[in-house]
Chains A and B, each alone.
Chain A
Amino acid sequence: MTHDEVKAQLTEVFRQVFDQPTLALEDATTAKDVEGWDSLTHINLIVAAEKAFRTRFTTREVQALANVGDFIRLIQKRCG
C-alpha cells in the first residue's frame, strides 16, 4: 500500500473512532491536534486500525509512535 492509500484508510478509522466526519490527518498530526484523542481512547484507535488493516501491533511498536506519519509507516511495514 502507498503512503497516501494508508493515510486515506487511516483517516476513515480516525473519523469513526473520534466521531468526527470531517477530520483530516497530516503526517505531523499528534494527539494534541485531535479532540478526544487521549490515553483512554488511544488503544481504541489502535484496535480499530488493527481491524481495518488486518494486522496486529506490538506494545513496543505502538509506544515508539510519535505522530500519524509514524503510524502510517508502521502500517505500511506491516501490510507491505
Chain B
Amino acid sequence: MPFVSLSTGLFVLAVLAVFQLSPPRLRAVVLLVASYAFYLAWSPQGAIWLLAVSAVAYLAALAVERPRAGARQALVALSAVACLLTVLLGFKLADALRAHLGAGGGKTGGDGLVAALLPLGMSYYVFKLVGYLLDVYWGRRPAVHSFAALALYASFFPQIVAGPIERPDDFFAQVERLELDPEGIAAGLRRILFGFFKKFAIADRLAVLVGAAHADPATHSALELFIAADLFALQMYADFSGFTDIAIGLGQLFGVKGPENFQLPFFARSLPEFWRRWHMSLTSWLTDYLFTPLRMALRDFGQAGLALAILVNMLAIGVWHGLSLTYAAFGLFNGLALAASALTLSRRTAFYRTRPRLSKVRAVLAPVVTFHLFAASLILFRANSMASALGYFAHLVPARGAVPAFRHDWGQLGGLAPRSLLVILLTAVVMEAIHWARGEPRAVERFLTLPRALRWGAYYAAVIATLALGEVGAHAFIYAQF
C-alpha cells in the first residue's frame, strides 16, 4: 500500500488500537505482525528477502558472539556482511541495467521513471543489519537472542520505506519497554502533521517548477536555471525531512522515536559541517562503518589516505541512491569538495585567526557558498542522465542570444507565478523557523503551554495550509525509491 494513503492511515489506526489494548509483553509482537502485514501488502516476494536477510544477520551475530568462535569470528562476520551487501548490490545492479536498457540510461523509481526491482526499503534495512552485525563483531553490543526482536528491528514499518536508519542500541532500548504514552502520541501526531505540511505545501509545489527546468533547460534562462537548482535543494529538504517527520512521528505513536535526519543543514558553514547535518542517519552510519575503518587502513598514507577515504565514502553515499553515473558523479563532486576542505582546513583556520574582519565576512558568506555547492551537486542528483546534467550546467552560463534572464512568461517555470513562488518561500521560512524552534527546549515548552485555542489554531492553520497550498498525492516521496 502507498505510504501516504487512506489505507495506510486506517492501517495505522487499527494497529494503534490493538497496540493500546495489548498487554506490555505482547506489544512488540503486535508491531512485528503489523510490520510484516504492511510489507506483505506491498510485496510478498520482498517480504521473503526481508525475512531471509534478517535470518542471516541473526544467525551470524550469534555465531560471532560464541566464546569459542576465536579466529572464525572475523570470517563469519565479514562473510555475512558481504552476503547482505551482495544482495543489496545485486538488486541495485539489476535496476541499473534495466533502466539502462529500458529508458536510455535513466534512473529507476520516482515520477514516471522505470519501476524498481529493488525491494521496498532494502537500502535501509540492509544497512541496519550490517551495522548491527559489525557492532556485535567489534564488541560494541551483545547479539540479540530473540529472532522476533531482530526481525522487528529490520522491518519496523514506520522506518521501512525511507528510514531513518536507527542504530540497534537505540531501537532495542526503546522496544524493551513499550509503554502507552499519551504525550508521545500527541508529539507524534504534531510531527506527522508538520511532515505533511512540508511535503505537500512546499516540496510538491517546488517539484512542478524544478521539473519544468530539468525537462528542458534550453528553453530557460541561466538565471531561471540557477534559481531552479537552488529550489531543488529546498525541495529535497522539504520532501525528505517531511518524510522523516512522518516516519519519526509514526514511530512515536508506538513508543519508538527514530533518530533525527536533519539539523538545520542550510546554516552549515562548510561542506563537512553540511554533511554532518544532512541525512544524518545515513552519513553517521557510513562514517562509523565505512569511513573510519577505511581511514584506519589508510592511516599510514597521511593526507592522501584521508583524501582517498573521503572520496570512497562520498562515492558510497552517491551510489547508495542507485548505480547510475549521475549518482556516482554527485558523490564524487561532494567527495572532491570535502577532501579539498579537509586538506586545507588547518591552513584556512590559521589564515583567518589573524584576520578577524575577514573572518566575520567569511562567517556570513560561508553558509551561502556551502548551500550553492550542494545545490550544484544536486543538478547531478536530479538529472536523469549525465547528458541531461551536462546540458543543465552548460545552460547555467549566460550566452549571447540566449533566453532573456527576466521574462513575463512564467509558464516556462512550471506555471508558477512570482506571487505563488513568494508564498512557497514564505512557507519555507515558516518551516525553517519551526525547525529552529524544535531544537530549543524553551521554545517547545512555551508552545505547549499556550492556551489550547491558540495551539489548535496553529494545527488547523497547518492543515488548511497543507490542503490549500499542497499538491496532495501528486508526487511520491523522493527517498522512498531508494
Q: Could you list which residues of chain A lie within 8 angstroms of chain B, going by C-beta atoms? A: 38-40, 42-43, 46-47, 59-60, 62-64, 66
Question: Nearest residue in A to B342 (C-beta to C-beta)?
Answer: A40
- The smallest C-beta distance from B288 to any residue of chain A, in angstroms, reads 8
B297 at the interface (CB under 8 A from A): yes
Contact across chains for B293 and A59 when beta carbons are under 8 A apart? yes
- The answer on a CB contact under 8 Å between B272 and A40 is yes
Q: Do B137 and A60 touch (CB < 8 A)?
A: yes
**A-B residue pairs in contact (CB < 8 Å), sample of 8:** A39-B287, A40-B345, A43-B292, A59-B292, A59-B297, A63-B293, A64-B139, A64-B140
In the bound complex, do residue B291 and residue A46 qualify as a contact, i.e. CB atoms below 8 Å apart?
no
Given A47-B299, A59-B297, answer yes or no on A42-B140 (Cβ-Cβ < 8 Å). no
CA distance A68 to B288 in the complex (A): 17
B residues near A (Cβ < 8 Å) are 134, 137-140, 272, 276, 287-288, 291-293, 295-297, 299, 306, 310, 342, 345
A39 near B291: Cβ-Cβ < 8 Å? yes
> How many whole Å from B293's CB to the nearest CB in chain A?
5
Given A39-B291, A60-B138, A66-B140, 8 new contacts (CB under 8 A): A40-B272, A42-B295, A43-B292, A43-B295, A43-B306, A59-B297, A60-B137, A63-B288
Give complex CA distance A39, B273 in Å. Answer: 11
Could you tell me the dominant secondary structure of chain A's interface residues? helix
Tell me the smallest distance from the CB of B397 to a CB of chain A, in Å: 33
Chain B residues lying within 8 Å of A66, measured Cβ to Cβ, are 140
Q: Are the C-beta atoms of A43 and B276 separated by less than 8 Å?
A: no
Q: Given A46-B299, A47-B299, A59-B297 in contact, is the A39-B292 Cβ separation under 8 Å? A: yes
How many A-B Cβ pairs are below 8 Å?
39
Q: Which residues of A contact B297 (CB under 8 A)?
A: 59
CA distance A42 to B480 in the complex (A): 33
Q: Across the interface, do B276 and A63 meet the contact criterion of CB distance under 8 Å?
A: no
Alpha-carbon gap, A47 to B138, bound state (A): 19
- Give the complex CA separation of A59 and B293 in angstroms: 6
Residue of A nearest to B74 (CB): A60
By Cβ-Cβ distance, the 6 closest A-B pairs, closest first, are A63-B138, A39-B287, A43-B295, A59-B296, A64-B139, A59-B293
- Known A-B contacts A38-B276, A40-B342; the reply to A62 vs B296 at CB < 8 A is yes
Complexed CA–CA distance, A66 and B141 (Å): 11
**Which residues of the other chain, B, contact A64 by a CB distance below 8 angstroms?**
138-140
Closest A residue, CB atoms, query B302: A47
Bound: A31/B337 CA distance, A:
24
CA distance A42 to B288 in the complex (A): 11
Q: In this complex, which of B293, B296, B299 has the most chain A Cβ atoms within 10 angstroms of its Cβ? A: B296
B276 nearest in chain A by CB position? A38
Which residues in A have their C-beta under 8 angstroms from that of B272? Answer: 38, 40
Given the known inter-chain contacts A38-B276, A62-B292, A63-B293, please indicate yes or no for A43 contacting B138, CB distance below 8 A: no
A42 to chain B, nearest CB (A): 7
Q: Are B140 and A63 in contact (CB under 8 A)?
A: yes
Chain B residues whose C-beta falls within 8 Å of the C-beta of A60 in the assembled complex: 137-139
Contacts of A40 in B (CB 8 A): 272, 306, 310, 342, 345
